[in-house]
Structure 1
Amino acid sequence: MFRFDSGLKVFLHREPVDFRMGINGLSILVEQAMLLNPFDHSLYVFGNRRCDRIKILGWDGAGFWLFLKRLEAEDRFVWPDTTDIVTLTVD
């Protein structure tokens, strides 16, 4: 299980991803596009093109978790404009 404390790292993949992609495809993106280790105790956030869904990938030491959040109606997630990998905090 994840501990949402100040030590948890959260990384945002800025480019939209195909939401048919599952755990294997997203973990490859973490490794190859973000140049990070999908097996460390961090969370990786991915969004779709319309910015109305996110997937969060995380490793808990025994297996991967894949969370999905879908916004309804006209709500959208606000995505940063920077080209760098964005690191978020849980504070």
Structure 2
Amino acid sequence: MAWPYWFREAMALNPFDKALFVFGNRQRDKVKLLFWERNGFVVWYKRLERERFKWPTHLEGDTVTLTGQELNWLLDGVNLKAMQPHKALDFQQVG
């Protein structure tokens, strides 16, 4: 079974729509963004070193529609319900 088929059947969504799909892992320290761009899928991945993404739990349903600003806030670590960001980290080297 090809994954676009699974995407449509399991989520009742079309991965080829003009939309950005955001998925978080159970630990909420990683997100993947998926979108179709003309001739292929683009995947963007972010892993947090500390803290967790503040997933919007105050919204109803399995599928949530966010504005571009709300998505930016989510990726920046802002709790959309409380509007409180993560602490900024300033590393000097990679260990």
Contact 1:30 1:44 in 2 (8 A): no
Deviation at 1:34, TM superposition (A): 2.2
Unmatched 5+ residue regions in structure 1? Answer: 1-23
More strand by share: 1
- CA–CA distance in 1 between the matches of 2:6 and 2:68? 22
Instruction: Tell me: higher relative CO, structure 1 or 2? Use CA pairs within 8 A at least 6 residues apart.
Output: 1
Deviation at 1:28, TM superposition (A): 4.5
- CA–CA distance in 1 between the matches of 2:13 and 2:61? 16
Q: TM-score scaled by structure 2?
A: 0.60
Larger Rg, first or second structure (1 or 2):
2
4+ runs deviating over 2 angstroms: 27-30, 80-84
Give the superposed CA RMSD.
1.8
Aligned residues: 66
Q: Which residue of 1 aligns with 2:53?
A: 77
More helix by share: 2
Deviation at 1:33, TM superposition (A): 2.6
Unmatched 5+ residue regions in structure 2? Answer: 70-95
